[in-house]
Amino acid sequence: MNSKQHPPTRLPEFPNSLWRSTHTFPTFPTLEEDATADVAIIGAGIAGITTAYLLAQSGLSVIVLEAGKVLDGTTGHTTAKVTAQHGVVYNELLQHFGHEQARMYYDGNTEAIRWMRALVQEKQIDCQWAEEDAYVYIQSEDNLKKMEFELTAYDKLGISGDWVSSLPVSVQSRAGIRMPGQARFDPLAYLHYLLDEAVQNGVRFYEKTTATDVEEDASLHVRTYSGSSVTAQHIVVASHFPVYDPGFYFTRLHAERSYAIAVEPGKPYPGGMYISDDEPRRSLRAVMHEGKELIVFGGENHKTGQGICTFGHYENLERFAEDTFGIVSIPFRWSAQDLVSIDKVPYIGPITGRHERVYVATGFAKWGMTTGTMAGHILADRITGRDNPHAAIFDPARFKADPGLKNIVVENANVAKELISGKVGLTHATADQLGTDEGSVVRHQGKRAGAYKDHSGKLFLVDTTCTHLGCEVEWNEGERTWDCPCHGSRFDYTGKVIEGPATQDLPALETPQ
Ligand code: FES
């Protein structure tokens, strides 16, 4: 039915993030009793951990709740570029937000890089920090004007960058813009340091503790799935998709998946970090692993649940790697899920105008290394009563009619289409047609169901109606997960939630004897 039609060539059979595979972290207990702190943070990715680290340094008591394991979400599956060059964005920012706020976006990200670099140097964090030039490039003549406008925006905003008509790497390109003085690193080595320091400074981390709701009286309370709660004066929702959503973020964010492979190349890498702005999306950077230089090739972005057969995305990257640098081996492949806001600028600040002490940090698109760090600073400053000069453009309460309104309609129309399309048309496939290690939507007792048969032939059947708002999940054969096309919830093949906004598992269905 699926994966057998795409035999992996040199790709690993199972996804394995380079970063997650090469680090181990302490384990933390599950929260089983009610607890109290000055600040409760939901989510232990780069935004949550940076916020906790900074608040603990200010002397506040902090509790961090993580639904899974620390650093196992998007932060553990990034390409880890530390840059203020977020594709081609500055002309659009200038048009929609004006000079002052477009410059604020650049300054906030650049300040995040400066802070990270200074910390790495001062604390001698062994995280492969390397200064690199970043390049955004186009492959098609049709996009030349867009690139010229972008460079003009750099000039107007005083951003350092220059035009290149060819790239240092042997990748087909028409033109590009180089931004000097950016960096790459091993994100989990860096965050391991922040995590350890936060723990040393008294931050209490809890894993496998799913926050389900926030309630407000004289204090604030985070409720968890198991019934325990945290009472706090401030709450930071840094759970990727906000698990607590009084601001209808599900109408203002969409989820995108992208893919990465780490390749031992046949040719040496000339340095630099690259990303294409046109299709097919491609991203390149180098990384050292066990004394050898690997290249991380990324790209193939698509909305969650709407890709071609997912293994095909890895194969496309494999072909690109073969054509550009040659392949000796491919030790790692992994995918990531990113959330993108309507105007492509993250939401960092009070979760709504009515919730002054509940904050959100989300919508980092592919650039969470700088924007997640910046979120930590903006939120820690806000909680401790300090002004932050970069906060205004990221305030979730901002309202920009163009292009936001148009995109709200498009996003919601898209979600409505997914809600409907999942419900109509029932497949004729049945679970007994599955081979081992295959999954598919099937017909079970006259209804739509999700089926996966593992290597030993054991069958797992789940209800495919997403427990968030009722869209129908689709099978992701590359990761062996059920993915929701509406807001990006993901479930393992047994139905267990691995990524929200859903907080409840897909119900398991009884398997035929
Ligand atoms: Fe919202 Fe599935 S994630 S309906």
Residue 250: the pLDDT is 87
Q: Tell how far the Cα of 483 is from the centroid of ligand 1, in angstroms.
A: 9
Q: What is the DSSP-derived secondary structure letter of residue 291? A: T
Residue 406: the pLDDT is 46
Q: State which ligand 1 atom lies nearest to the alpha carbon of 250.
A: 1
Quick one: three-class SS letters along 74-109?
Answer: HHHHCCCEECCCCCCCHHHHHHHHHHHHHHHHHHHH
The whole-angstrom separation of Cα 272 and Cα 164 is 13
The whole-angstrom separation of Cα 304 and Cα 255 is 6
The whole-angstrom separation of Cα 365 and Cα 85 is 13
Q: State which ligand 1 atom lies nearest to the alpha carbon of 473.
A: 2
The whole-angstrom separation of Cα 114 and Cα 86 is 17
Ligand 1 pocket check for 253: Cβ under 6 Å: no
* 184 contacts: CB under 8 Å, gap ≥ 6: 80, 81, 82, 128, 129, 130, 132, 273, 285, 286, 287
> Structural domain boundaries of the chain?
403-513
The three-state secondary structure class of 293 is strand
Ligand 1 pocket check for 502: Cβ under 6 Å: yes
Residue 7: the pLDDT is 46
CB-based burial label for 39 (10 Å; 0-12, 13-18, 19+): buried
Q: Domain spanning 403-513 has what CATH number?
A: 2.102.10.10
Residue 405: the pLDDT is 43
Ligand 1 pocket check for 467: Cβ under 6 Å: no
Q: What is the pLDDT along the chain (513 residues), one digit of tens a residue?
A: 444 444 457 898 888 899 988 999 999 999 999 999 999 999 999 999 999 999 999 999 999 999 989 998 777 788 899 999 999 999 999 999 999 999 999 999 999 999 999 999 999 999 999 999 999 999 999 999 999 999 999 999 999 999 999 999 999 999 999 999 999 999 999 999 999 999 999 999 999 999 999 999 889 999 999 899 999 999 999 998 898 989 889 888 988 989 999 999 999 999 999 999 999 999 999 999 999 999 999 999 888 766 567 788 999 999 999 999 999 999 999 988 899 999 999 999 999 988 989 999 999 999 999 999 999 999 999 999 999 999 999 999 986 444 444 444 445 545 555 554 544 455 667 888 888 888 888 888 888 899 999 989 899 999 999 999 888 998 888 788 999 888 888 999 999 998 888 889 999 998 876
Nearest to 325 by CA among 281, 263, 277: 263
Ligand 1 pocket check for 254: Cβ under 6 Å: no
The whole-angstrom separation of Cα 271 and Cα 321 is 16
Ligand 1 pocket check for 466: Cβ under 6 Å: yes
| Among 252, 489, 497, 499, residue to substitute to test ligand 1 (most atoms within 8 Å of Cβ) | 489
Ligand 1 pocket check for 506: Cβ under 6 Å: no
Q: State which ligand 1 atom lies nearest to the alpha carbon of 484.
A: 2
Ligand 1 pocket check for 240: Cβ under 6 Å: no
The whole-angstrom separation of Cα 485 and Cα 465 is 11
CB-based burial label for 191 (10 Å; 0-12, 13-18, 19+): buried
Quick one: three-class SS letters along 331-349?
Answer: EEEEEEEEEEECCCCCEEE
Ligand 1 pocket check for 468: Cβ under 6 Å: yes
Q: State which ligand 1 atom lies nearest to the alpha carbon of 419.
A: 4
Ligand 1 pocket check for 489: Cβ under 6 Å: yes
| Among 469, 472, 473, 483, residue to substitute to test ligand 1 (most atoms within 8 Å of Cβ) | 469
- Global confidence as pTM: 0.86
Q: Name the closest-CA residue to atom 4, ligand 1.
A: 469
**Residue whose tokens read 């002397």:** 59
Q: Tell how far the Cα of 236 is from the centroid of ligand 1, in angstroms.
A: 22
Q: Tell how far the Cα of 309 is from the centroid of ligand 1, in angstroms.
A: 20
Q: Name the closest-CA residue to atom 3, ligand 1.
A: 487
Ligand 1 pocket check for 442: Cβ under 6 Å: no
Ligand 1 pocket check for 486: Cβ under 6 Å: yes
Ligand 1 pocket check for 54: Cβ under 6 Å: no
Q: State which ligand 1 atom lies nearest to the alpha carbon of 469.
A: 4
Q: Tell how far the Cα of 14 is from the centroid of ligand 1, in angstroms.
A: 25
Ligand 1 pocket check for 484: Cβ under 6 Å: yes
Residue 426: the pLDDT is 56
Ligand 1 pocket check for 419: Cβ under 6 Å: no
Q: Tell how far the Cα of 165 is from the centroid of ligand 1, in angstroms.
A: 43
| Among 252, 471, 474, 499, residue to substitute to test ligand 1 (most atoms within 8 Å of Cβ) | 471
Q: Tell how far the Cα of 197 is from the centroid of ligand 1, in angstroms.
A: 36
Output the DSSP codes for 446-471. Answer: TEEEEEEE-TT--EEEE--B-TTT-P
Strand 234-237 and strand 39-42: pairing? parallel
